[in-house]
Amino acid sequence: MKTRKQLNLILLLLLIFILAGCQTTVVNEEESVLVETRMLETETKSQMLTYLGFVEPSELKKYSFLVGGELQERLVSVGDYVYPGDPLMLLEDTKYQLNESAGSAQLNLAGLESQKAEEALQYAENLYADLESLYQQGAISKSRYDEGKLNYEISQKEYEQSRRAYSQALASLRLAQDTLDDAILVSSIEGIVGGLFFEEGELVSPGYPAVIVHSREMEIGIGVSVDDVPNFIKGQTVQVEVGDVQEEGTILEVASLPDSLSRTYEVRVALTVPGLVGQSAKITQEKNQTSGIWLDINEIRNDGEDYVYVVRDGRALRRTISLHEINDRLVRVEGLDQDELLITRGDGLLDNGMKITLHEDGDSIE
């Protein structure tokens, strides 16, 4: 019996030693995380200014009738290419043609009356000159002389009245002709028909836009802040991005006064790549060059503060950083030193102070 108790005691002690050994093994075997790294270097990069704008025609005209009436005919369609002098729309102009014909007839009549008055004046003037000569010689009486003088003065007034009537008739005719001309809209620029706002048969009121024509050449308009506007100079080249196309553009104009509402300065850039009116565009301009540590935006973590992990004595060390200038996808940061190893992959599994293993060819990082 005693021997059996001793055997159980020995087995119990042996079990305790085995369990203690297993526990020691777990504590000593610390797992490490496989990571990729890159060496940090000081780099000099340009700080870029980026502004968004929209594609606009370099020239846009809104045409409206100066007279009202029924729209007789649309002479173009949206998308048509037109040249200066090409007709765009025509109002029903019968009454305007009648007014022009009446004005022309009135002018002809006034012209005949003026011609007759001029001939009568010439006759009265010659007669008056003869009577004056005879009167000075004593060949005629004073009453006959006075009669000739009065007739001459009356002829002068009638001629002046006829000239005034002719001038009024001429002005009326020109007004009628202008009104007739205003019954048709004509393009003053070369470009593309962008919009037609009345259908044939509709009544058109004067002053309302009826046709829009814009130039083929396009520009991009952006509003630039007062701090950035010195970096935009007329004639300077900037980077333009429209859709998937990137190209250089030339600054055409920089406003000297800010917009009254936005307080930004309008900058217009020539567009040399295809673009649709209203399409969004991005303008990028170099501001200055800055040296420092630059990180890809995907390498930066944030949990309320910006941070990364660097390697220190085989372990991951969390480092809080501050963000500064931006260059495309790169950000200049402070809080890191040159020649430090930045952990770029595998950091999603890390915690501060964890043991790491550097990635080698053939290793796989989830």
Spell out the domain ranges in the chain: 49-58+218-288, 59-92+183-216, 94-181
d(CA 134, CA 142): 10
pLDDT of the residue at 25: 44
pLDDT of the residue at 202: 93
Nearest to 255 by CA among 222, 289, 281: 222
Contact (Cβ atoms closer than 8 angstroms) between residue 55 and residue 220: yes
pLDDT of the residue at 5: 59
349 or 202, which is more confident? 202
CB atoms within 10 A of CB 105: 12
How buried is residue 346: exposed, middle or buried, by Cβ count under 10 Å (0-12/13-18/19+)?
buried
pLDDT of the residue at 18: 61
Q: Which residues contact 137 (CB under 8 A, 6 or more apart)?
A: none
Contact (Cβ atoms closer than 8 angstroms) between residue 231 and residue 276: no
Q: Residue range 41-65: average pLDDT?
A: 90
Mean pLDDT of the chain: 87
d(CA 13, CA 321): 55
pLDDT of the residue at 44: 85
Contact (Cβ atoms closer than 8 angstroms) between residue 335 and residue 323: no
Reported as a pLDDT band with limits 50, 70 and 90, residue 96 is confident
pLDDT of the residue at 126: 92
Beta bridge partners of 195: 212
Residue reference for tokens 């200038």? 325
Q: Which of 256-270, 283-297, 326-340 has the highest mean pLDDT?
A: 256-270
pLDDT of the residue at 274: 72
- CA 147 remoteness from chain centre: 79
Contact (Cβ atoms closer than 8 angstroms) between residue 238 and residue 283: yes
Contact (Cβ atoms closer than 8 angstroms) between residue 208 and residue 87: no
Q: What is the Cα Rg of the chain in Å?
A: 47
Q: Residue range 64-78: average pLDDT?
A: 93
Q: Residue range 135-145: average pLDDT?
A: 87
* Out of 96-110, 210-224, 350-364, least confident range: 350-364
7-43 pLDDT tens trace: 566 666 666 666 555 554 444 467 888 888 999 999 9
Nearest to 186 by CA among 58, 59, 94, 91: 91
Q: Which amino acid is at 97?
A: Q
φ, ψ dihedrals at 196, nearest 5° = -125, 125
φ, ψ dihedrals at 162, nearest 5° = -65, -35
pTM here? 0.59
Reported as a pLDDT band with limits 50, 70 and 90, residue 289 is confident
* Out of 98-112, 199-213, 266-280, 299-313, least confident range: 266-280
Q: Fold for domain 59-92+183-216?
A: OB fold (Dihydrolipoamide Acetyltransferase, E2P) (2.40.50)
pLDDT of the residue at 29: 60
Tokens of 240: 């333009």
**pLDDT at residue 364 above 50?**
no
**pLDDT at residue 101 above 60?**
yes
Classify residue 362 by its DSSP letter: T
**pLDDT at residue 296 above 70?**
yes
Percent of the chain with pLDDT over 70: 90
**pLDDT at residue 348 above 80?**
no
Tokens of 154: 């009356």
d(CA 187, CA 213): 8
Q: Residue range 282-305: average pLDDT?
A: 88
Q: Residue range 251-276: average pLDDT?
A: 90
Contact (Cβ atoms closer than 8 angstroms) between residue 190 and residue 80: no
Question: What are the C-alpha distances in Å from 45 to residues 230, 324, 337?
Answer: 20, 13, 17
d(CA 70, CA 203): 4
Q: Angle at which helices 94-137 and 142-181 pack, to 10 degrees?
A: 160
pLDDT of the residue at 132: 87
Reported as a pLDDT band with limits 50, 70 and 90, residue 362 is very low
Nearest to 128 by CA among 151, 107, 111, 110: 151
d(CA 317, CA 302): 15
Q: Residue range 53-60: average pLDDT?
A: 92
Does the domain at 49-58+218-288 match CATH 3.20.20.80? Answer given as no
Q: Residue range 187-205: average pLDDT?
A: 94
**pLDDT at residue 258 above 50?**
yes
